[in-house]
């Protein structure tokens, strides 16, 4: 993956003032918080379009697909056009949680062949910290776009492939460490992790100000976890959302990685799949 992953606040501010501003997407979502649209309405970056993660960036949940299955391509294309995305127009995505939710939109659009999609580094917090304005209310719908999506831009693995990667390559678990160890499981059927997976919590991709760590720091982080030039890497989380953030961090570090969309929510729903517990992979 060679395309740029992030855009700075200063760059976004300049581009929004230009004659060719990017499509700006606000993916306000957090586990256990159903009020994303309300947060958006209370204050968002001027010109941003609200994107609902549960309904626009995912298909309905199922035991086989997990809590956030990938949406059908036709549904994602219809949503992307409603956000105003057209061929050749850049897209910038953000949330208010270090981009851990916005990365889902970044990954889906990159997977679907949109080449110029970036995350606002530092997310909404960085915009606020820079003293830049917010607008409230629900703006008029954007002019519909004409983007044509094509799948396959980023790799995907299923449960069998994730199990194989955990043995022959590197499978990273992006959830909080206590969920990896199996000490708590707030939402999915069973606690634990995929046998052989290595714990790499998503939050550790970020500096104290919510921006991504430097490429060098991220490369060292993932190298210590077992990443290397010849190592195949897969990533999962609870339902395939924050795992996309891990893939973005890996891309910044210079590593390609595949997403296991069903993640732990699908794995733990299958009684034939073993769950490991404790701090070690096996």
Q: Which of 48, 91, 159, 237 is catalytic?
A: 237
The CB density around residue 129, as the number of other CB atoms within 10 Å, is 12
- The tokens for 4 are 């740029």
Measure Cα distances from 133 to 17, 121, 130 in Å: 13, 17, 9
Cα three-residue angle 66-160-74, rounded to 5 degrees: 50
CA atoms lying within 13 Å on the CB side of residue 42: 8
* Contact in structure between 149 and 112 (CB atoms under 8 Å): yes
- Please confirm, yes or no, whether 237 is among the known catalytic residues: yes
Instruction: State the residue for tokens 């760590």.
Output: 213
CA gap 11, 214 in Å, rounded:
18
Active site residues: 237
């Amino acid at each position: 993956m060679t395309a740029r992953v992030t855009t700075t606040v200063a760059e976004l501010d300049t581009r929004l003032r230009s004659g060719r501003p990017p499509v700006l997407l606000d993916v306000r979502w957090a586990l256990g918080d159903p009020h994303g649209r309300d947060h958006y309405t209370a204050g968002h970056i001027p010109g941003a379009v609200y994107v609902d993660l549960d309904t626009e960036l995912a298909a309905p949940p199922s035991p086989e697909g997990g809590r956030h299955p990938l949406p059908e391509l036709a549904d994602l294309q219809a949503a992307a056009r409603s956000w105003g995305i057209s061929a050749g127009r850049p897209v910038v995505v953000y949330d208010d949680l270090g981009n851990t939710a916005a990365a889902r939109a970044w990954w889906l659009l990159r997977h679907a062949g949109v080449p110029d999609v970036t995350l606002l580094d530092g997310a909404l917090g960085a915009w606020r910290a820079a003293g830049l304005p917010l607008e409230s209310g629900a703006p008029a719908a954007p002019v519909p776009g004409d983007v044509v999506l094509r799948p396959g831009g980023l790799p995907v693995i299923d449960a069998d492939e994730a199990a194989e990667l955990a043995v022959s390559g590197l499978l990273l678990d992006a959830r909080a460490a206590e969920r990896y160890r199996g000490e708590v499981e707030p939402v999915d059927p069973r606690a634990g992790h995929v046998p052989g997976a290595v714990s790499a919590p998503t939050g550790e991709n970020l500096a104290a100000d919510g921006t991504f760590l430097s490429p060098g720091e991220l490369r060292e982080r993932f190298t210590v976890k077992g990443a290397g030039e010849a190592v195949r890497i897969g990533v999962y989380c609870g339902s395939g959302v924050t795992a996309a953030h891990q893939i973005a961090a890996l891309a910044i570090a210079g590593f390609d990685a595949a997403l296991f969309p069903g993640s732990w929510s699908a794995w733990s729903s299958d009684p034939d799949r073993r769950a490991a517990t404790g701090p070690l992979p096996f």
